């Protein structure tokens, strides 16, 4: 037993040193790649914003001109962040990151951009768990359905056009999958309502999110 103790102690020391070296290596890699990962995430966000708001309609950095947890005006809309577009310091549009909570398989994360005249600038699906081949047609890479919102307006509180065709509205539903497009249409409509009721607050609030590298 006494002869084994030095060998055990030696192995323990070696294992301890190995663990320290591995931990240090992981920490170093994380430190070296952290800025790169953040930069890539920032570039992806800029691309998404430019897809829903024309670059020619703003000259500010939208990813820095943003607000978190804005006034909700008693709305049940689930808002994450609002990015604001300005041209010569005049508001032109806003992109609202929100959630349709009533998708077929749960939450559908959306980026909904609206012009200051109340028209839809663009909509993109950011994340979802809808059924492949059916509900996933809300993705632009699967279908151009999401582009049908662009240019449309809400004509008053009783505008019944803002529904899927099955419900008497103007938006197509997918064969075998009505719940998914219905959820998206409902959330886009709520977002328009919210934006129209809170434009002044949205554009006058101090920016409280975003970080430039």
* C-alpha distances out from residue 68 to 13, 41, 65, 82, 93, Å: 50, 18, 11, 7, 17
The predicted-structure confidence for 135-192, as pLDDT tens digits, reads as follows 899 999 999 999 999 999 998 888 899 999 999 999 999 988 899 999 999 999 999 9
User: What backbone torsions phi and psi does residue 35 show, to the nearest 5 degrees?
Assistant: -65, -40
Residue 66 lies in a domain: yes
Domain extent at residue 162: 55-204
The predicted-structure confidence for 11-32, as pLDDT tens digits, reads as follows 566 665 665 665 655 555 555 5
- Determine the Cα–Cα distance for residues 60 and 57; give it in Å rounded to an integer: 10
Residue 16 lies in a domain: no
Residue 132 lies in a domain: yes
How many domains does the chain divide into?
1
Q: What is the per-residue pLDDT for 213?
A: 40
Residue 158 lies in a domain: yes
Residue 208's pLDDT band, with cuts at 50, 70 and 90, is: confident
The residues, ordered by sequence, that sit 6+ positions from 60 with a Cβ below 8 Å of its Cβ are 84, 85, 86, 87, 89
- Determine the Cα–Cα distance for residues 131 and 127; give it in Å rounded to an integer: 13
61-80 burial, b at 16+ Cβ within 10 Å, e below that, comes to: ebbebbbeebeeeeeebbbe
Residue 29 lies in a domain: no
Residue 115 lies in a domain: yes
Residue 199, Cβ neighbours under 10 Å: how many?
A: 15
The residues, ordered by sequence, that sit 6+ positions from 32 with a Cβ below 8 Å of its Cβ are none
- Determine the Cα–Cα distance for residues 135 and 129; give it in Å rounded to an integer: 9
Does this model's pTM top 0.85? My answer is no
Residue 38 lies in a domain: no
**Which candidate, 75, 73, 116, 67, places its Cα nearest to that of 96?**
67
Could you give the percent of the chain with pLDDT greater than 70?
Answer: 76
Q: What is the per-residue pLDDT for 77?
A: 87
Residue 193 lies in a domain: yes
């Amino acid at each position: 037993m006494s002869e084994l103790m030095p060998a055990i102690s030696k192995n323990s020391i070696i294992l301890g040193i190995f663990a320290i070296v591995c931990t240090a290596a992981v920490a170093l890699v994380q430190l070296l790649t952290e800025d790169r990962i953040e930069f890539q995430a920032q570039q992806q966000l800029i691309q998404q914003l430019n897809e829903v708001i024309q670059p020619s309609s703003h000259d500010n950095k939208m990813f820095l001109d943003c607000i978190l947890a804005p006034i909700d005006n008693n709305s049940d809309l689930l808002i994450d962040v609002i990015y604001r577009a300005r041209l010569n310091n005049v508001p032109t549009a806003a992109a609202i990151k929100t959630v349709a909570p009533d998708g077929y398989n749960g939450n559908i994360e959306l980026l909904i951009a609206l012009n200051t005249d109340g028209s839809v600038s663009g909509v993109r699906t950011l994340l979802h768990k809808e059924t492949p081949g059916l509900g996933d047609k809300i993705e632009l890479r699967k279908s151009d359905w999401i582009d049908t919102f662009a240019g449309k307006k809400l004509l008053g509180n009783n505008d019944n056009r803002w529904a899927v065709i099955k419900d008497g509205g103007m938006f197509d539903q997918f064969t075998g999958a009505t719940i998914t497009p219905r959820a998206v249409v409902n959330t886009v409509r709520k977002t328009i309502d919210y934006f129209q009721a809170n434009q002044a607050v949205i554009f006058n609030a101090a920016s409280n999110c975003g970080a430039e590298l």
